[in-house]
């Protein structure tokens, strides 16, 4: 049986950086995100007894050997838990460049998980799907539930899962993704995170997360945009501070990133409610309400060095579709 899933990427408002368990991808802290509707991965999976190996194709580019190995590792996990002995044919495509800080691993492993179980004819709960996706890439678990999602830290594999706090229709926010560099990031998130505990500040950040989680959930509940934005920006800066003080440091910003960060503070002073957040790359996500989308785009277009702007709305979670890729 063939199955195809579409998965959104997600932007973390409270970020995940550092693992308590590398193999299971248990995080050092809980995180919270919004699914993004313009940056998706579509994946078709078919298990077949006639195949003599797994065949993995990225339709809009090339996978490195390391990436293929990681995908096969995920498949092996699914096979071992379901007593499946056949290899699989997989085709996948992104609606955005992978490695550009637009979280292709999140949407990639979410789509792979949902398509693979459907291709096997096995129905899992959403919670179970998030646990499997998490083992492919931590942030992938947050791309499975609808809209605004919390990934609970947990203390073992079953208790570290993601669930929807609010559906995608809950709040008409925008994530204006500003691409300042299309190239692959130099240090992968998996590699970068291994050094987290060399930062003298990681403990402080992790200790502050429960209070920040409570505050951001309250801001979401009250739809208090300024409170939400302040926490988003604060946690982004805290995470990058940890990254930059690791040994060796992990530094993802470039000059345009920094110009945009400074500009956002200036635009706010002029009365435009917009906040930035940045993942493991130089590209900047500008979070605003729908009513301010046009004004934010107009401002960002004036910044030299911006290569592209992708406007994301809150998206539903990963789901099956009938348009197969082969
Ligand atoms: C900075 O989920 O990509 O985007 O579990 O090793 O695959 P692995 O890491 P990954 O890390 C995401 C890091 C981040 C913050 C976030 O999305 O929470």
pLDDT 10s digit of each residue in the chain, 326 long?
A: 999 999 999 999 999 999 999 999 999 999 999 999 999 999 999 999 999 999 999 998 888 899 999 999 999 999 999 999 999 999 999 987 655 545 579 999 999 999 999 999 999 999 999 999 999 999 999 999 999 999 999 999 999 999 999 999 999 999 999 999 877 667 889 999 999 999 999 999 999 999 999 999 999 999 999 999 999 999 999 999 999 999 999 999 999 999 999 999 999 999 999 999 999 999 999 999 999 999 999 999 999 999 999 999 999 999 999 999 99
**What residues form DSSP beta bridges with 162?**
151
Cite the DSSP H helix spans in the chain: 65-82, 104-119, 126-136, 189-193, 202-222, 225-244, 255-269, 293-300
Q: Encoding tokens for residue 228?
A: 């939400």
| pTM of the entire predicted model | 0.97
Which two tokens mark 216?
Answer: 């951001």
Which token pair is 318?
């990963």
- Which ligand 1 atom lies nearest to the CA of residue 134? 5
Query: Is the beta carbon of 12 within 6 A of some atom in ligand 1?
Result: yes
The angle that helices 202-222 and 225-244 make with each other, rounded to 10 degrees, is 160
Q: Give the per-residue pLDDT at 184.
A: 65
CATH topology of domain 173-312: Alpha-Beta Plaits (3.30.70)
If one residue of 138, 205, 212 were mutated to test the ligand 1 pocket, choosing by the most ligand atoms within 8 A of its CB, it would be 138
Ligand 1 centre to CA of 289 (Å) is 25
Q: Whose C-alpha lies nearest to ligand 1, atom 11?
A: 189
Q: For residue 257, how many C-alpha atoms fall within 13 Å in the half-sphere facing its CB?
A: 20
Separation of alpha carbons 118 and 19, rounded Å: 29
252 lines ligand 1 (CB under 6 A): no
Phi, psi of 43 (to 5 degrees): -135, 130
22 CA distance to ligand 1 middle (Å): 12
Tell me how far apart the alpha carbons of residues 37 and 136 are, in angstroms, rounded to a whole number.
21
- Distance set, CA 108 to CA 36, 86, 133, 185, 250 (Å): 13, 21, 9, 16, 24
**Beta-strand relationship, 55-58 and 31-48:** unpaired
Q: What is the CATH number that goes with domain 2-168?
A: 3.30.230.10
CA of 127 from ligand 1 middle (Å) equals: 19
Q: Is 31 in the pocket of ligand 1 (CB under 6 A)?
A: yes
Q: Where are the domains of the chain?
A: 2-168, 173-312
DSSP, collapsed to helix, strand or coil, labels residue 153 as coil
pLDDT value, residue 246: 98
pLDDT tens string 46-92 = 999 999 999 999 998 888 899 999 999 999 999 999 999 999 999 99
Token output for 1:
């049986």
Query: CB count, 10 Å around CB of 77?
Result: 15
Going from the Cα of 165 to the center of ligand 1, the distance in angstroms, rounded, reads 20
Give the model's pLDDT for residue 275: 99
- The pLDDT score that the predictor gives to residue 62 is 83
Residue (of 316, 280, 318, 320) closest to 34 by Cα position: 316
Do the bridges between strand 55-58 and strand 87-94 make them parallel or antiparallel, or are there none, so unpaired?
A: parallel
Pocket test for ligand 1, best of 31, 139, 283 (most atoms within 8 A of CB): 139
**Closest alpha carbon to 61 in 182, 143, 179:** 182
Cβ neighbours of residue 29 closer than 8 Å, sequence gap 6 or more: 14, 16, 17, 18, 153, 205, 206, 209
Can you tell me which atom of ligand 1 is nearest the CA of 106?
Answer: 2
């Amino acid at each position: 049986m063939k199955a195809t899933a579409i998965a959104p990427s997600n932007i973390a408002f409270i970020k995940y950086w550092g693992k308590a368990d590398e193999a299971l991808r248990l995080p050092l802290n809980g995180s919270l995100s919004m699914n993004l509707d313009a940056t998706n991965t579509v994946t078709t999976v078919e298990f077949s007894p006639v195949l003599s190996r797994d065949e993995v194709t990225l339709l809009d580019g090339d996978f490195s050997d390391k990436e293929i190995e990681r995908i096969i590792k995920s498949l092996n996990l699914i096979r071992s838990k379901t007593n499946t002995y056949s290899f699989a044919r997989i085709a996948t495509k992104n609606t955005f460049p992978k490695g550009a800080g637009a979280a292709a691993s999140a949407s990639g492993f979410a789509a792979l998980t949902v398509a693979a179980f459907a291709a096997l004819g096995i129905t899992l709960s959403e919670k179970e799907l998030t646990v499997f996706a998490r083992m492919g890439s931590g942030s992938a678990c947050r791309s499975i539930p609808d809209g605004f999602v919390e990934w609970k830290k947990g203390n073992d594999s079953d208790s570290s899962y993601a669930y929807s706090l609010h559906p995608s229709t809950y709040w008409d926010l925008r994530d204006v993704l500003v691409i300042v560099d299309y190239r692959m990031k130099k240090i992968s998130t998996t590699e970068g995170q291994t050094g987290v505990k060399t930062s003298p500040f990681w403990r402080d950040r992790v200790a502050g997360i429960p209070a920040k989680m409570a505050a951001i959930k309250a801001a979401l509940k009250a739809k208090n945009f300024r409170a939400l934005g302040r926490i988003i920006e604060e946690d982004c800066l805290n995470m990058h501070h940890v990254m930059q003080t690791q040994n060796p440091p992990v530094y993802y910003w470039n000059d345009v990133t920094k110009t945009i960060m400074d500009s956002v503070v200036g635009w706010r002073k002029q009365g435009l409610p917009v906040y930035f957040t940045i993942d493991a790359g130089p590209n900047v996500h500008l979070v605003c309400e729908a009513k301010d989308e046009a004004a934010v785009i107009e401002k960002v277009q004036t910044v030299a060095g911006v290569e592209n702007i992708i406007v994301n709305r809150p998206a539903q979670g990963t789901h099956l579709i009938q348009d197969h890729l082969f």
